[in-house]
Structure 1
Amino acid sequence: MWRSVFGKVKNVRRISVRGKWMSSGGTSVMSFGDGSEGALGIPTSSVGIGVDIYEPTPIPALPSTVVSVAAGHYHSLAVTSNGHLWAWGRNNEAQLGRGPTSRESWNEPKRVVGLEHVNVCGAFASGVVSAALGDDGSVWVWGKSKRGQLGLGKHVTEAIKPTKVEALSGENIAKVSFGWGHALARTMDGKLFGWGYSADGRIGKMGNEIETSPLDSTVGNNSQHSNSDLELAEKRVLEGMEKENNMPIIWEPCLVEELHGVQVVDIACGLDHSLILCRDGTLLSCGSNVYGQLGRGRLDLGIFPVDMKFSPVSIAAGLGHSLSICQLDGLSDVSLGITNIASWGWNQSSQLGRPGPGDGPALIDGLAGENPVIVSGGRAHSLALTSKGELWVWGSGKNGRLGLGSSVDEVEPYYLDSLEGFQILQAVSGFDHNLVLVAG
């Protein structure tokens, strides 16, 4: 059941939390979802690597001093109050910062080696690369990426240990966001840098012209494709594979010139698209629009405004969908002073949390009156944390990625009441797994 903004009756499905406990003081991290790559951090003796977790479950190996968490596509990171960084999950590309390891040990959280001299205050990750943000604004990266995502210079595709991104030296970096092959970084004073795979203008116009990716980025959204369309898309993918040795790559971070003089306050990268929120409230998008994830009628390649009639305050991106927390002041007396989430893009698994077309932003009715303050998107699911400290989930339930004790999809936001009684500080999604930071 759902109530209107005048009063909501929450769903009451009860799920126990396996081994529910809280540390005496400090914090703890819980995880749930796909365990195939070890990103859940649950001991092998408890569940075995590769086992999915369907309910929020504490990660016992982490210290009680974690202050923030980050989720890559298949691995996880945690920052502690004393500036240490811990990592666990997939390590085929050395993204854990601990050297080569056996797959059986991927799910063991361990401190990243090589950052002992860095006071880490933030962490970010993609599928193949991890990054740490120092309290001096420096950025350190490690992993493997043939698409230039490391940002360490021409043809540098591997960094086994954390390495400083010298091209950003002197810049006070506040946030980094990674897609599959591209990256954006925002400075404290609002400048925007981009690097990596640059097709479709996903990091702005780098060079004289924008090169398109093998997939047509200017047509198609959530509509059904004909067989001829699919054959054409397959042909483009095959052609793109042949061009792998001549990909459009920006090997080091460069200023996004289109935004010269514009202050950027938030960034979010999906698989192959980007969202950029400006201080004046304008939300911009660029990159692939195969699923309508750019949220605009203008289909030109490049950085252009999202067709947004709300007031965005923060943004997030899943694989092919986009999310924005919006301030609703002034829309009506009932809505005064509250927020909701606008969603658009790929909606095959209900990751937008609402019905209807996904090629333009629309509010999620199921979150009306809940006042979300944090939003995150995965491969085909989404989650939101409200000002009351309640976690809501929706989209694909496969592998337990919604934490509701089943594999059932949820077409509308569903209250995760198994975390009731916990003080939730942060919640983030990887591709198919989730991390929740709770107070002790």
Structure 2
Amino acid sequence: MKRRDIFGKWFIIAFLAIGSLWPGGHEVKADAPVQVVSAAGGDAFGIAAWSDGTVAGWGYNKFGQVGDGTSIHQYIPKKIAGLAHVTQVAAAQSTSFAVTAEGEVWAWGQGYSEYVNDDPVLPFQKRELPSKLEGLSDVASISTNGSAGIAVHKDGTATLWHIFYDSDYIKQIKYVPLKGVTGIKEVQIMGSKALLLDQNGKLSSLNIYNDFYGRYRTENEIKEPEFLKADVSRFAISWRDIFLLSKDGTVLQLNEKSQKFTAVSGLKGISDIQTGYNRLFALKQDGTVWQWNYNSGSKAKPFQVKGLTDISAIWGTTGQTGFALNKKGQFLAWSSEYNAGLATGSGTENSGSNGSELMITPVQQALSWKVNGEDINFYATSGLMDNKLYVPYTSVFEAMGVSISHKEVKASDPKAVPRSNTEWSFAYGDRNVSIVQGKPNEVYFNGKKSGAPAQIIYMSNSTLFPLEIICEGLGIDLKWNKATGEILIQS
């Protein structure tokens, strides 16, 4: 199987429901779960801020954009260490940011999370954890296009920031106050410009990038903002495509050639808009969600995303995925790309009016691990398959006192190909669980064949084992609170 196919397969099984939406599993009584307050995503990864001030990240992680301090892909949301009191997250391409209640901005991912050399556990995959942007303070909200960002301060002013390299090729972060910008409610970057929405619903444009020199403008080069003839409640941008939400609930799109706004047919009674890659997401006042794949042909029209009802908030990404929060507090994701990595799973498959297929999946709460009362953290990803927990070789087993070994055994059928299979053994005290790989796999408890189903999944950076079956066979107690993500193991 190709690496991309494996990657897509594991995202299909990774994001299962919070709470008790699916039966099965050994779980304790569910506590009241925290809710998502902000979500964002880039290319095949996502981040979310929760009502307890924590942040979780998951997905494609080559540049450390998940925020766990590695470049290992994380197929289950993972809590990001060192972040607290977060009120908003933002992401684009391969970078991530968070804003705290104190007005701080934290950054990680491409350009911000450099490699950490000579780490004894991860010599080639260790990345820096999120770092605070020291040049920003009293920030209310931020936006980013991946290479730069703009912070709106609590007093309504704004600051542009971006990475640049000096004459000695030393990386620095430059902060550029946007002069003449006051009373700002929201700002986003559109190509070489910044679009700003003030508290009165007035929209203005500011040129922030020098196309001739190929760099962001200095403070002295930035001119006063130019007001556009639009009176809106909010706006959404995908690269150079801009959409406006009018105060009457209709949606307008900017025509680049005529520089005029035209109404998007079929969208009325809209309360919020967001964007993905070449798609517009719209939340109606009745709690339904609509999507428009506006670059898929002249006949493409907005269609309802079936399965998303009673929605109270939506968020966009720079990929093909959207996020939603329903009135029950469930955090959902939907996507039309098999390998999007954010929203595929055993959810509802939908066909829009333009033939697009969407999959809706509740996003799993970030998992936390305690073994014999001690917190356990590990680098490689955990996983979920058929609502069962899977963990890597270097995870909880050592803390549990479980020893692992493997050997090659001859196939029971002499005509079988291959002629031998790998047998993994997990020993604890006088008990043993063995999994012999084959078609199908065979599970043995103390040498006696069991009918328990078990998979061993080989990933590009780890091997994942079925934790619950192993604990059952070894007599180790495991409790999983699916509402909070807490997993308690007592050996």
> What aligned pairs does 1:16-415 form with structure 2 within 5 A after superposition?
26-44=52-70, 49=71, 51-62=72-83, 64-91=84-111, 102-104=114-116, 107-115=128-136, 118-143=137-162, 160-168=173-181, 171-196=182-207, 252=223, 254-259=225-230, 262=231, 264-287=232-255, 302-327=260-285, 338-345=286-293, 359-367=300-308, 369-395=309-335, 396-398=337-339, 400-402=341-343, 404=345, 411-415=357-361
Q: Is the 8 A contact 1:69 1:77 kept in 2?
A: yes
Q: Is the 8 A contact 1:54 1:405 kept in 2?
A: no
Q: CA deviation at 1:183?
A: 2.7
Q: CA deviation at 1:271?
A: 1.8
Q: Could you tell me the percent identity over the aligned residues?
A: 21
Q: Is the 8 A contact 2:61 2:74 kept in 1?
A: yes
| Aligned partner letter, 2:319 | R
| Aligned partner letter, 1:110 | S
Q: Is the 8 A contact 2:284 2:290 kept in 1?
A: yes
Structure 2 distance, partners of 1:310, 1:103, is: 48
Q: Greater strand percent: which structure?
A: 2
| Structure 1 gap ranges (5+) | 1-9, 146-157, 199-242, 289-298, 328-337, 349-355, 423-437
Structure 1 distance, partners of 2:330, 2:191, is: 30
Structure 2 distance, partners of 1:130, 1:113, is: 14
Structure 2 distance, partners of 1:13, 1:347, is: 40
Bigger radius of gyration: 2
| Aligned partner letter, 1:256 | F
Q: CA deviation at 1:413?
A: 4.1
1:107-139 deviation per Cα after TM superposition (whole angstroms, max 9, x unaligned)? 510111112xx3111111112111211110011
| TM-score in terms of structure 2 length | 0.53
- Compared CA separation, residues 363 and 309, structure 1 to 2 (3 A): same
| Aligned partner letter, 1:160 | I
Q: Is the 8 A contact 2:91 2:317 kept in 1?
A: no
Q: Is the 8 A contact 1:70 1:124 kept in 2?
A: yes
Q: Is the 8 A contact 2:274 2:282 kept in 1?
A: yes
Equivalent residue number for residue 459 of structure 2: none
- Compared CA separation, residues 382 and 140, structure 1 to 2 (3 A): same
Q: CA deviation at 1:315?
A: 0.7
Which structure's relative contact order is higher, taking Cα pairs within 8 Å and 6+ residues apart?
1
| TM-score in terms of structure 1 length | 0.59
| Aligned-partner SS, 1:178 | strand
Structure 2 distance, partners of 1:77, 1:24, is: 14
1:15-66 deviation per Cα after TM superposition (whole angstroms, max 9, x unaligned)? 99xxxx999994211011221222110123xxxx2x222211111122x211
Q: Is the 8 A contact 1:31 1:59 kept in 2?
A: yes
Q: CA deviation at 1:316?
A: 0.5
| Aligned partner letter, 1:255 | E
| Structure 2 gap ranges (5+) | 1-19, 27-32, 35-48, 117-125, 165-170, 351-355, 369-483, 487-491
Equivalent residue number for residue 416 of structure 1: 362
Q: CA deviation at 1:83?
A: 1.5
Q: Which moved more, 1:313-322 or 1:172-181?
A: 172-181
- Compared CA separation, residues 165 and 439, structure 1 to 2 (3 A): farther
- Compared CA separation, residues 374 and 421, structure 1 to 2 (3 A): farther
Structure 2 distance, partners of 1:246, 1:86, is: 26
Question: What is the number of equivalent residue pairs in this alignment?
Answer: 306
- Compared CA separation, residues 15 and 415, structure 1 to 2 (3 A): farther
Q: Is the 8 A contact 2:78 2:366 kept in 1?
A: no
Q: CA deviation at 1:405?
A: 9.9
| Aligned-partner SS, 2:288 | strand
| Aligned partner letter, 2:361 | Y
Q: Is the 8 A contact 1:73 1:125 kept in 2?
A: no
